[in-house]
């Protein structure tokens, strides 16, 4: 194709088209290819630091939800000592749990018996991973606190307030209507994890207006595995032992982040690029652990 473009066509419209292709379209295509390579699986990157991803920060001085380039730092703590850290280019925590624990496992040779995490990590893929590693998981799911409220318990549209009959494989809504199984669908996450969802449908309901705004009969899709994981997590977190252990999380990583950010004034990275920022993050746990050990020895 390049050889043909070098030839000089005689008619002016063809000359013009070749000129536009050579000077505008092809350079623009190469530019887009470079940008796509920089993006990878992300949805944004910074021009000053292509490895950084635009995220919403907790420190929002303008209070307008402004996006800023940054990295997602994950730490694991025990008695407020940092036992593992990892750096990620994705803004959400859900997809960071598995690679973080894999890095901890590679560094320590094994994983801790119990993993405590907040609702940001409570996805089906994470629950499945923790179960496969035979870990005691105390991980909240996204609606754990919401489902305790009176408003949630009185909402007839919530699946948590319905009844499931395992023998008949049916769901019974607040109006007493049964939703019958129709088919099972499959979804794959970005990492390749397969989620199986079972779809159910009811036939007419007097409370449909208060239950959903969708047209037609009421339909729901449920992941049986995620439903099972949520039930297990709920039972563990409501137990006296589980509650006591989960409360520790509030004084573990949060206080460590507070020490690093507020007491030691580290609020932004000084270097650019994933390798350099990873090195910079690596010094933080080392300094934190040494200072904490020195403080304990002094006491």
5, pLDDT greater than 60: no
Q: Is the pLDDT of residue 277 over 90?
A: yes
162 touches 180 (CB < 8 A): no
How many CB atoms are closer than 10 A to CB 23? 10
Check whether domain 55-144+235-298 has CATH 3.40.50, yes or no: no
| Residue scoring higher pLDDT (97 or 208) | 97
Judge contact between 101 and 111, C-beta under 8 A. yes
Q: pLDDT category, 3, cuts 50, 70, 90? A: low
Q: What are the boundaries of each domain within the chain?
A: 2-39, 55-144+235-298, 158-224
pLDDT at residue 9 greater than cutoff 70:
no
For residues 168-174, average pLDDT: 89
Residue 71 has pLDDT above 90, yes or no: yes
Give 60's pLDDT tier (boundaries 50, 70, 90).
Answer: confident
What tens digit of pLDDT does each residue of 116-166 get? 998 889 999 999 999 999 999 899 999 999 988 999 988 888 888 899 998
Q: What pLDDT is recorded for position 203?
A: 80
pLDDT tens digits along 221-233: 999 999 999 999 9
Instruction: Quote the percentage of the chain above a pLDDT of 70.
Output: 97
E strands in the chain: 53-56, 67-70, 72-78, 81-88, 114-117, 136-139, 163-165, 170-172, 178-188, 194-201, 219-222
* Beta strand pairing call for 114-117 and 136-139: parallel
**What pLDDT, on the 0 to 100 scale, is given for residue 132?**
94
More confident of the two residues 260 and 209? 260
């Amino acid at each position: 194709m390049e050889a043909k473009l070098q030839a000089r066509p005689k008619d002016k419209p063809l000359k013009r088209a070749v000129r536009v292709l050579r000077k505008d379209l092809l350079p623009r295509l190469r530019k887009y290819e470079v940008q796509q390579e920089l993006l990878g699986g992300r949805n944004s990157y910074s021009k000053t630091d292509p490895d950084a991803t635009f995220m919403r920060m907790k420190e929002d001085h303008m209070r307008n939800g402004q996006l800023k380039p940054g990295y997602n730092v994950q730490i694991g703590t025990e008695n407020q000592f940092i036992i593992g850290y990892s750096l990620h280019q994705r803004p959400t925590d859900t997809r960071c749990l598995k690679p973080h624990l894999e890095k901890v496992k590679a560094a320590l040779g094994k994983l801790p018996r119990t993993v405590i995490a907040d609702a940001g990590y409570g996805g089906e893929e994470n629950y499945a991973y923790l179960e496969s590693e035979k870990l005691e998981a105390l991980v909240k799911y996204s609606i754990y606190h919401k489902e305790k409220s009176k408003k949630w318990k009185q909402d007839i549209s919530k699946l948590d307030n319905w009844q499931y009959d395992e023998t008949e494989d049916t769901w019974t809504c607040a109006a007493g209507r049964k939703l019958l199984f129709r088919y099972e669908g499959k979804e794959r996450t970005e990492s390749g994890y397969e989620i199986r969802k079972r779809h159910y449908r009811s036939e007419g309901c007097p409370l449909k207006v208060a239950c959903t705004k969708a047209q037609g009969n009421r339909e729901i899709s449920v992941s049986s595995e995620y439903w099972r994981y949520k039930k297990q997590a709920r039972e563990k977190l409501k137990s006296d032992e589980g509650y006591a252990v989960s409360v520790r999380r509030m004084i573990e990583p949060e206080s460590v982040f507070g020490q690093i950010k507020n007491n030691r004034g580290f609020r932004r990275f000084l270097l650019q690029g994933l390798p350099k920022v990873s090195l910079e993050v690596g010094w933080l746990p080392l300094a934190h652990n040494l200072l904490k050990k020195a403080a304990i020895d002094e006491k």
